[in-house]
């Protein structure tokens, strides 16, 4: 057990007075595969956070060393990555991205006494059914996101035909189900509910079905790669259907897939941290390096900030002490001041709507 090893290490330190080694932390997400743009966001955020923390003296006087794990958004690979981290002595993981990866990996981290803070996993089960303490997220939840999306669809498309589809993943299906439930609670029924297979390139059959049904609004519970192809293929068939989705569209790669077919796409995401005054100096650093801190870049940065402040409060990287500090504390981050509730969910503002226009996304009101 890693907890026992940590205790032994602490005893050795106490007896010898030897200096601690560098502190090993990690981030994990889809560094390869069709969702690699999100892995790149996490890697960029983690690398900048570690660079900034080390430049300011490290954590409790010790330097951070960053490990990068590639789970490709695959549950089995995520568990393998988590076990590799444990074997290397990682004490904290800012990850994973996909809920389907974070949830099984969290069982490993809980068993091994490793703190996990996900920047991006939104499925409620991640915290509702967490295997133990030490599991957190700095992003919102699909039930919060779905409530906003469902209410919006019911209000703004009351007289339109709405289809809700999902990619059958923990994230996509969870988000679509929550959106449908909220829309129906607001008094509007879905005209079509379907599932699709992620990773395919040709959605002609699905698009033809939508066209035949006269669908005006398509809500996609899934990722940007498939949503982008659907948007393009709908335009190819002469459809003016509005595509609506969630936070998995917060990458410029969405527009790279759609081109002008992405114009007018709507999506939900948390308030843009790039617009946060406290984040301005960090945003400048990213842009000076040619990195746009979109999507989950700053969420990953914030996860590491919160952990670092908790470690300094605990004066230790020991699991129980840091967990207590995370449970009890308030943390100043690029997302603003945040704290965690008793489930490990973050207390930050919820979701708002964005609109894609001319290759960029911005708040819906600002996009008009």
d(CA 147, CA 135): 24
In a domain, 356, yes or no: no
In a domain, 36, yes or no: yes
Give percent of the chain above pLDDT 90: 92
Identify whether residues 254 and 282 lie together within a single domain.
no
Domains held by the chain: number: 2
Identify whether residues 81 and 185 lie together within a single domain.
no
Q: Is a pLDDT exceeding 90 seen at residue 365?
A: no
pLDDT at 5: 44
Indicate the residue among 218, 237, 269 that finishes a domain.
269
* Residues near 62 by beta carbon (within 8 Å), at least 6 away in sequence: 20, 21, 22, 23
Give the chain's mean pLDDT. 93
d(CA 64, CA 55): 10
d(CA 307, CA 180): 35
Label residue 350 by pLDDT band (50, 70, 90).
confident
Q: Cβ(291)–Cβ(272) under 8 Å? A: no
Range of the domain at 67: 2-140+275-338
CATH code, 102: 3.40.50.2300
Indicate the residue among 269, 296, 326 that finishes a domain.
269
For 7-33, how does the pLDDT look when each residue is reduced to its tens digit (9 = 90+)?
Answer: 444 443 433 333 456 999 999 999 999
pLDDT at 368: 40
In a domain, 344, yes or no: no
Q: Give 7 or 155, the one with higher predicted confidence.
A: 155
Cα end-to-end span (Å), the chain: 56
Identify whether residues 160 and 109 lie together within a single domain.
no
pLDDT at 20: 52
Identify whether residues 162 and 261 lie together within a single domain.
yes
For 259-278, how does the pLDDT look when each residue is reduced to its tens digit (9 = 90+)?
Answer: 999 999 999 999 999 999 98
**Mean pLDDT within 231-238:** 98
In a domain, 357, yes or no: no
Element (H, E) at 208: helix 204-212
Identify whether residues 71 and 177 lie together within a single domain.
no
pTM value is 0.89
Q: Cβ(105)–Cβ(82) under 8 Å? A: yes
For 21-78, how does the pLDDT look when each residue is reduced to its tens digit (9 = 90+)?
Answer: 699 999 999 999 999 999 999 999 999 999 999 999 999 999 999 999 999 999 999 9
pLDDT at 71: 98
Identify whether residues 246 and 151 lie together within a single domain.
yes
In a domain, 74, yes or no: yes
Q: Quick one: angle between helices 36-55 and 297-314, nearest 10?
A: 40
């Amino acid at each position: 057990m890693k907890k026992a090893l940590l205790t032994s290490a602490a005893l050795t330190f106490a007896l010898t007075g030897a200096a601690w080694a560098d502190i090993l932390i990690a981030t994990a997400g889809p560094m390869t595969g069709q969702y690699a743009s999100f892995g790149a966001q996490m890697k960029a955020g983690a690398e900048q956070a570690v660079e900034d923390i080390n430049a300011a003296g490290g954590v409790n006087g010790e330097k951070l060393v960053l490990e990068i794990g590639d789970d490709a958004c695959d549950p089995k690979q995520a568990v393998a990555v988590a076990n590799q981290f444990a074997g290397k002595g990682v004490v904290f993981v800012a990850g994973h991205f996909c809920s389907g990866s974070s949830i099984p990996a969290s069982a490993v981290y809980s068993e091994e006494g490793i703190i996990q803070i996900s920047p991006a996993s939104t499925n409620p089960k991640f915290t509702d059914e967490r295997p133990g303490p030490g599991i957190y997220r700095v992003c919102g939840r699909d039930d919060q996101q779905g409530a906003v999306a469902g209410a919006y669809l019911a209000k703004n498309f009351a007289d339109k035909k709405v289809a809700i589809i999902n990619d059958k993943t923990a994230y996509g299906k969870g988000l679509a189900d929550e959106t449908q439930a909220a829309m129906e609670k607001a008094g509007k029924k879905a005209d079509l509910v379907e599932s699709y297979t992620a990773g395919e390139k040709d959605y002609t059959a699905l698009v033809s079905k939508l066209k035949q049904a006269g669908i005006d609004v398509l809500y996609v519970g899934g990722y940007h790669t498939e949503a982008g192809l659907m948007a393009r293929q709908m335009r190819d068939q002469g459809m003016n259907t509005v595509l609506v989705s969630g936070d998995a569209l917060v990458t410029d790669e969405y527009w790279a897939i759609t081109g002008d077919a992405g114009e007018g796409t709507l999506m939900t995401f948390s308030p843009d941290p790039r617009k946060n005054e406290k984040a301005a100096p960090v945003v400048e650093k990213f842009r000076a390096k040619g990195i746009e801190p979109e999507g989950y870049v700053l969420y990953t940065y914030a996860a590491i900030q919160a952990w670092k402040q908790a470690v300094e409060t605990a004066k230790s990287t020991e699991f129980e002490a840091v967990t207590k500090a995370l449970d009890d504390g308030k943390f100043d981050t690029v997302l603003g001041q945040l704290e965690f509730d008793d489930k490990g969910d973050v207390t930050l503002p919820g979701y708002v709507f964005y609109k894609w226009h001319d290759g960029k996304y911005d708040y819906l009101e600002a996009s008009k």
